Amino acid sequence: MSTDLPYAADAEVSLSYDELEVLKLQYEKELTQAHVTVQTKFNYAWGLVKSPMREHQVEGVRLLQDLYRAEPTRRRECLYYLALGHYKMGNFDEARRFNGALNLGTAVQPVSSGV
């Protein structure tokens, strides 16, 4: 089965402060204009999940959960990074659940508990 998802090792490489700041500023700019594009939100969530800082990971997972619910065309990518984010935060049961859904191609309802 062909996949266009990144390798897991890529997740361990954090963005630099400046790179993450660019994504954050773009997200905040669109937020103030009351229209955040799917790509901007995904990019920022992706950068946050890759961060070594737990509070960034928590926010990234929250944004990915929003995207997963609202954007069916982005669910596969969201599942991957939701699994990764939960894994990095030590939420192994959640990580397994999202990874299983990714492998099976099934839908999952993200849990909105205090990640």
Tell me, what's the pLDDT at 2?
46
Tell me, what's the pLDDT at 13?
83
Is the whole-model pTM more than 0.85? no
Q: Residue 94 and residue 71: Cα distance in Å, rounded?
A: 20
Q: Which amino acid is at 86?
A: H
pLDDT band, very low/low/confident/very high, at 115 (cuts 50, 70, 90): very low
Mind listing the domains of the chain with CATH numbers? Answer: 12-104 (1.25.40.10)
10-56 residue pLDDT tens: 667 899 999 999 999 999 999 999 999 999 999 999 999 999 999 99
Rg value, the chain, Cα: 13
Q: Residue 103 and residue 115: Cα distance in Å, rounded?
A: 22
- Judge contact between 38 and 67, C-beta under 8 A: yes
